[in-house]
Every structure is written in C-alpha cells, then in structure tokens.
Amino acid sequence: RKSRLMRWFWIAVALVAVAGAAGIAFIASELAVATAARMLIARSEGRLLIDGANGSLLSLVRINHLEWRGPSSTLTADDIAVDWSPLALWSRGIVVKALGAQRITLAIKPSDTAVEVPVTLALPTTVTIGKIAVAEFQWAVGTTEGRISGVTFGNNGGPPDHRVLRGDR
C-alpha cells in the first residue's frame, strides 16, 4: 500500500512538472504575446489597435504599430520594444527595464468644454521604467504642433508619488 501511494505521489509530481513546463513554454511563445494583444484590444472597447506584436512575455516584446483612440485624442506609436521583468509582478509591481519607440504621435482635438480634473494621478501599483527612449515625438493640440527628437528619461511611480528621471543617469 505504501509503495502504491508513493507511486501516485511521484506521478502527481511529474504531472505538475509537465504542466508547469508547458505553461512556461506557452508564456515564452509568440502565441502568448498575440493572445495578450487580443485580450488588451478586446478590453479596450475598440479604442486600442495593436499590429505586429511578437517576442516573449518573459522578456522582450516588440510591436510594429500601436494606436489608442480616445474621444478627443489619438496616440500612435511605431516600432516599439518593451524589455520587462515579469517576475517583479510577484513583489514590486511592474518593472520595465527599457521601453523604446521609433516614433510617437499625439493628436488632441481642441475643445470648448471644460475637462474634469481627476481626483488623483496616483498609479494603483508601483511602476518602474528604467529607460524610456523615443527617437521622434510629434504632437498636435488643435492647430499647434511640434516635434522633439531623441527623448530619453526614466520613470518611477506608484500610489504615494510619481517621478520622471533624467535621461542621462
């Protein structure tokens, strides 16, 4: 009886190990990145478009084109790379080692109506981005527009505070 119980125990351990390995293999696959992109698009109620997402949810994710359409603004980003640490989710919030984009464009339509200011700008969890690099940032607010090239900085934020860090640190 004892040897049968030990055999079932080791079979259960082997099944858990195989399931764990299969889960890690899935998370590391491009199928997981595509699935995550589809989930984000579905939850955005049609506001978000993600094209050409690939890589691994365990480290580096690349996106060819991302677009967010709000009621009075549009943000697009091209050639995005996100190098992050998913293991940090267990303890410290979201940790992104590096976030880069070749081009980001922000367009805001002018409005005569007052915009209600949020009660707080605090993030619900800690978010750390070691380095943010954007080759070209273009914006248009009504008829005013501009462009900045070679933007680099870091960002630390969370419920208690929010800090933008110098790009040359």
- Asked if 48 contacts 35 with a C-beta cutoff of 8 angstroms, the reply is no
Q: How far apart are CA 56 and CA 86, in angstroms?
A: 11
When the pLDDT of each residue in the chain is averaged and rounded to a whole number, the result is 89
Give the model's pLDDT for residue 134: 96
Give the model's pLDDT for residue 168: 61
Give the model's pLDDT for residue 135: 96
b/e sequence 97-125, b meaning 16+ C-beta within 10 Å: eebbbebbbbbeeeeeeeeeeeeeeebee
Q: What number is the average pLDDT over the span 77-81?
A: 97
Q: How far apart are CA 107 and CA 49, in angstroms?
A: 16
Q: What number is the average pLDDT over the span 6-13?
A: 92
Give the model's pLDDT for residue 15: 96
Residue 85 has pLDDT above 90, yes or no: no
Helix (H, G, I), strand (E, B) or coil at 39: helix
- Rounded to two decimals, the pTM is 0.79
- For residue 87, what pLDDT band results from cuts at 50, 70 and 90? confident
| Rg (the chain; Cα; Å) | 21
More confident residue, 89 or 141: 141
What percentage of residues in the chain have a pLDDT greater than 70? Answer: 98
Phi-psi region of 44 (alpha: psi -120 to 50; beta: other; left: phi over 0): alpha
Give the model's pLDDT for residue 95: 87
